[in-house]
Every structure is written in structure tokens, then in C-alpha cells.
Structure 1
Amino acid sequence: MKYRALWGAAVGGLAIHFLGLGWDVYRHSSDSTLAQREDVLSLGNPSHLMIVVGMAIVAASLLGMAAAWMAERRLGGDGLPGAMVRGVSLPVISIVAGGSIWLASTAEDGSHDHGTTDHVHAPGTPEDHPHDSEGGPGTQDSAAFLVARQGSAAGVATHGHTNGAAAEEDSMGEGSAHTHGIEVAVSGEQLLAAGKFAAAVKEKTAKYIDVREALTAGYVQITPDLPGIAAHFIRSDYQRDGHEMDPERPEVLLYSKRLDGNWRLLGAMFMAESAGETPPSYFGAVDVWHRHENLCFTAGAQVRTTASAAECRGGVFVKATAYQMHVWVEPGGTGVFAHDYAPISPGAFAGATQLAASELRAQVR
């Protein structure tokens, strides 16, 4: 009878486990950005909790059956050694199993650092490497500018030189040992120009602090609120207006709803005039341009990377976007021209679940 009850509990736990898995699959299919905001195992997620609870019930039932079996057969003998084997082995197994669940719940998924849209840096920038993200517009012009999540403009890692055969010589011809950051080829004039430009962008975009002002001015949201790079609002008539890097005419405004529950202006994005143009370096190594390749934009503000236009069924395929660059106007990031805005990677709050215009219209009604 006791085995029957334990088997019943194990089957019930397995059912809970599979229900949790099914629920989690449904949640991820309904929200394509969910994986970017979750850890490997988040016990605050009810579907993850069901998965863990179900397996815990199964494990407890199996351990109960093992304990009953060991007691019936007097595993280890009738003496003290046998009692110790029966009394210690199962608790140790339980502790190890519980510890593994705890480790999984505290682990971070490295894939959350990137989304799903490849981009490359303009020639002359520190490095070329892929990044990913999701979002999307409804027209090809809008599709041509989508930004992926990005890294910092120029890294500053330290390294040392030591005496020996490979030691570099100082000005006196002797070996030296020292540590310094990575040297960036930038002049004082370029640094001054970069600072003035960043200040001008912050001043000129202040009129769009309220997202409704941006919508009224003709900006249209074409990506969801993405971890690290926010939601992108484009003004298509600024894309080929002859004004490149004009603080008064930013092609894109960047908003996020992650920080405090309200749409918040975080920065702007500037684009080259055409997809084939390699933009000049305005501030030397300080400004880092990038672009995206092989993007498929579909309805519902979604974007993915595809190998060819044939795979972009029902969407708009963009072989290569124009070069583009972020300028963050809010503090707290890793740099004003950085690829990511760290406070929303993934941020204290989940991103917006619907477009700003739809949300504001719903509020008015």
C-alpha cells in the first residue's frame, strides 16, 4: 500500500512538472523577449516554480520508496553500520539534489547579454563582432535602421610589461615594468567636439522627454523595449534629409519603460544617409558606428536574422542597414556613445509589452 501511495505521488509530481514546462513554452512563444530577461531558473517565475516543485515531489517519492526498500531488506545489516548507511545515505542524496536546484536558480544565462541581430562596426573601429536583438518596423525605410544591442565604444583594459627578453625599453634604453590602460588615438580637439555634441543632443532632445511629443512630431515606434538598447522611434523623413549627425534632427529617439514604469527618453541614434555610405569618424576613436545585416522585419514589431530574402516570408528583408550610432543622454551607462545602456540590461522592470501609441490611446479611452 505504501508503495502504491508513493508511486501515485510520483506520477502527480511528474504531471505538475510537465504542466510547468508547457506553461513556460507558452509564455516564451507569447513574449519573444522573455528569454532575454530571465535567468536559467527563476523561482519567481510560476512556470519555473511548477517545474521545480513537480520534480521535488517525484524525487521525494522515489526517496521514500528507496527508504522503505532499504528498511525492509535491512540494507547494511542489523548493526550500527547498517543503521548509519540507511540513516545517512538518503539525506545526503537529498542535500545534493537540493543544492543542484539552488545552483541552477542562482546561475545567470550568458545568452542574456545579447539579442538576435548581427551588426558590424564601421572600418577603423576597435573590433568587429556580432550581436543580436529583436524588434521591427512596418516599412523598408524603418527596417533599414534597426539597432542591435552593442558593446562599449572603446575598451580600457590594463596590462603589464615585465623585465626580460620581451621587455620593452624606455627612453633611457633600459627595460621597464609598468601597467597602463589601452591608448586611444584621439586628440584634445576631438574630445572637446565629442563633449559639445553630446551636450547638444541632450539639449535638443529635451523637448521629447514626453513620448507623446515624439509621436506628435512624427516619430514612429518600430521596436519593442529591448534590454540594453531600449525601444526605437524613427522619423523616416530625417533619414535622407541631408543632415547627418545633426542634434536638432536625430533620425531615432530611444525610450525605455523599464526603469520606473513610465516611458523615459534615454538617448538618440544617428544614421548615415545611405546604406552604402561609410560614415566619417567625427570624433576619432570615440565614436563607433555599426550596421546590421540580413534582417527580416515582420508584423507586430518583430525582427529576426535570416540567411536570405527567401526565408523572410511575409516580411521585409534588409540585406544591410545604414551605419548608425547611439548617443545616450541619461547617466549610468558605460559611455555616451556606448553600444548598450547598462541600467536596462535587462533592467529592474520588464520592458513594455505594447507599443507606446497603442498604450496611450488606451489610456485616453
Structure 2
Amino acid sequence: MLSRLERWAIWLVVAGLGALLAGLVWDLAVHRLAPEATAHEEVLAPGNPGHHLFAAGLAVLVAGFCLLAVARLLQRPPASLSGLALAGALPVVVGLACAALALGATATHPEGTGEVAGAVEVEEHAHAASLGTGHEHQQQADAASPVPSLPGVEHPHGTGVPITAQQLLATAELVQRVREAARRYEDVRVAEAEGYRMTTRTFLYHYVNPTYYLDNRTLDVDRIESLVYARGPDGSLKLVGVMFMVRPGLEPPDFGGPLIGWHLHDNLCINPSTWMVEALSDSPSGCPRGTVHVVTGQMLHVWLVDTPAGVFADAEQVIPYLLRLGYRFR
């Protein structure tokens, strides 16, 4: 025969379970109807009623179980085996429920924090370089000239990019030729056999071919100066991009206009015998013993992995997307 306290406990369990399931269904419906609006919401978003209903149901469910445990403890001596089990389970259930609600209230969507931000920080400030992504780089992009409007006519088209058809075709052709030529380097051992040597090993692994770098044949897809690898989900190095390099003092080819983002680094400490970037410093005095302070020539990334950042984007813009695709540090 159930006691009055047990009956109340069972009703609380049923009500809590119903509210929890209703909140879950509500949340699924919201995500289905508005996926863009909920893509980056918190675990317990204030504006999502389904989350509140789910949390309330969980709280009521836990309260019901706790009340049921108390009712059973009042009927059975705590010294018995079942009584001791209930006495031990009660604080565990309450603690887990409180922890779940607290974590849900403070947690945020993973895309805004954590590994992505850490990867960009490490890649930008650690060994990025000639060959990666340093914090001192110069972008060359021409600003669009304002076009005068006719009096009394308002017909906005947004901000345009001043690019000619010739520049657009040349850029598309280069990207296609790079993709075809780079296929032979998908296995890093092939690149090493051809003379490429590792120069950075942070999130991105840059390999430079000294012969191709010194031959002044920029944008020659058969003699690409640098290859960019990242460690894939299976732990092996995957080719994710290439980088054309111009020697210091030389001007890079102007073929794509504002579509192309050439950049340089002026803070590298390089080991001259290995070409490895060992540290970053704004002045020669800050470089470790055995390294030399280097100001690079202009460089241009061409990414082989399609990302919203763009095919010529800076490395720090591409790293978050690579992480979301499963690429990793080690």
C-alpha cells in the first residue's frame, strides 16, 4: 500500500517526465523551423521556451525521485541494505541534477570558444611565418572608388569590388592550375623527395623548397615555393594549401587586383641551416642565439580546402574551418 507521500512523489515524477519530454519536443521543433536562428544558441538559451520547460521538467523529476526516496527511508530503517542504498543515492541524484542545470546555464555554443580560438592564437603568435600566419603582415588591396550617383536617382547595389574581367579570368585560371598541379604532393613524402623541407610545425605545417624559392619563377605551378599541410582526423598530414613566395625586395605579380591578398612577415627568427622558424621578434636583438631576424618577401596563400573565408584568405581565417572539419594539432 502506497503512502500519501509516495503517491505525491509518483505524481511529481510523472509530471516532471512529461514536462521534460515536452520541452525536448518544443526545442526540436524550434530548431527545425528556424535553424539559422538557433545554430549558435546557448545550451539553456533565455529566448527558447523549450529549454525552460526541459529544465523545469528535470527539476520536478529529480524532486519526485528525492521525495520517493525520503518516503521509502521513512518506512525502512537506514541500517538495512536498501535503506543505505537510498540514503547514498539521494545526494548523488541531487548533485548531478544541480551540476547539469548549472553547466547548462553557463555553457555556450562550442563554435565561439575553446579549440578554435586557441588554434588561431597559437598559429598567429607562435611559429607562423614565412610560411604561415604572423601577426605582422601587410595586405595589398585597392579600395573601391566611389561612383557618383545621378541626381534624384537612388539605386543602391551594395559595395562592389573594382575588378576587371581579365583579372577575374586570370585568378580563376590560376586556382584551377594550382589544384591540378598540387595533387602530386598529397603525400608529404613525395614533397620531401622533391626537396621540400619543413619550416613551421604549429597547427599548419609549411614546407618550403629552397630551389624553387630562389629561382624567381613566382606563380609557376610546377615550381610552387611552399606547400601547406595540416594534421587530418586520422592523424596524417593532409595537403590543405600552397603558398607562392617572392624574394625580399621584389614586387609580386599583379594579376588579380583586389581579389589577391599578398602579405609579408617582418618578425621571424629563422635558423639559417634548417630554414625553421624558431621564434618571433620585432627586432634582431630579440631572436635566440643561432637564428637570424628575417623580413620576408611577399607571399600568397592558395587554399585547396573550400572554406567560407575564401581561397586567398589569411591562415588565421582558415584555421577555424579546418578545426570544424576535424583537423587537429597532433
So what's the TM-score if we normalise by structure 2? 0.56
Query: Does 2:221 align with 1:244?
Result: no
- From 215, 236, 243, the equivalent of 2:192 is 215
**Which residue of the partner structure matches residue 289 of structure 1?**
262
**Aligned partners of 1:333, 1:267: CA distance in 2, in Å?**
15
Give the superposition deviation at 1:247: 0.7
Is the Cα–Cα contact under 8 Å of residues 116 and 304 in structure 1 kept in the other structure? no
**Aligned partners of 2:301, 2:250: CA distance in 1, in Å?**
17
Letter in 2 for 1:184: V
- From 309, 317, 321, the equivalent of 2:284 is 309
Give the superposition deviation at 1:146: 2.4
- From 154, 158, 168, the equivalent of 1:176 is 154
**Which residue of the partner structure matches residue 325 of structure 1?**
300
Query: Does 2:164 align with 1:187?
Result: yes
Is the Cα–Cα contact under 8 Å of residues 268 and 326 in structure 1 kept in the other structure? yes
Letter in 2 for 1:135: H
The 1:223/1:319 distance shift into structure 2, 3 A limit, reads: closer
Letter in 2 for 1:188: A
Unmatched tracts of structure 1, length 5 or more: 1-90, 118-131, 137-142, 156-167, 353-365
The 1:112/1:346 distance shift into structure 2, 3 A limit, reads: farther
Is the Cα–Cα contact under 8 Å of residues 230 and 328 in structure 2 kept in the other structure? no
**Aligned partners of 2:276, 2:304: CA distance in 1, in Å?**
25
Secondary structure of 2:264's match?
A: strand
Give the superposition deviation at 1:284: 1.0
Is the Cα–Cα contact under 8 Å of residues 294 and 319 in structure 1 kept in the other structure? yes
Is the Cα–Cα contact under 8 Å of residues 268 and 281 in structure 2 kept in the other structure? yes
- For residues 308-345 of structure 1, give each alpha carbon's deviation from its aligned partner in whole angstroms, at most 9, with x where no partner exists: 22221224232411110011123235222122335324
Unmatched tracts of structure 2, length 5 or more: 1-94, 142-146
Q: Taking CA–CA contacts closer than 8 Å with sequence separation of 6 or more, which of the two structures ends up with the larger relative contact order?
A: 1
So what's the TM-score if we normalise by structure 1? 0.51
Larger radius of gyration: 2
Secondary structure of 2:192's match?
A: helix
Give the superposition deviation at 1:280: 3.2
Letter in 1 for 2:295: A
**Aligned partners of 1:243, 1:319: CA distance in 2, in Å?**
21
**Aligned partners of 1:231, 1:240: CA distance in 2, in Å?**
20
Query: Does 2:81 align with 1:108?
Result: no
Number of aligned residue pairs: give it: 220
**Aligned partners of 1:256, 1:282: CA distance in 2, in Å?**
28
**Which residue of the partner structure matches residue 197 of structure 1?**
174
- From 312, 317, 328, the equivalent of 1:337 is 312
Is the Cα–Cα contact under 8 Å of residues 131 and 226 in structure 2 kept in the other structure? no
Higher share of residues assigned helix: 2
Query: Does 2:257 align with 1:280?
Result: no
CA RMSD of aligned residues (A): 3.7
Output aligned runs, 1:48-67, within 5 Å: none
Secondary structure of 1:268's match?
A: strand
% identity of equivalent residues = 24
- From 133, 151, 161, the equivalent of 1:148 is 133
Secondary structure of 2:222's match?
A: coil
Is the Cα–Cα contact under 8 Å of residues 269 and 326 in structure 1 kept in the other structure? yes
Give the superposition deviation at 1:300: 11
**Aligned partners of 1:193, 1:245: CA distance in 2, in Å?**
12
- For residues 158-204 of structure 1, give each alpha carbon's deviation from its aligned partner in whole angstroms, at most 9, with x where no partner exists: xxxxxxxxxx9843x21526452x31111111111111111111111
Letter in 1 for 2:132: V
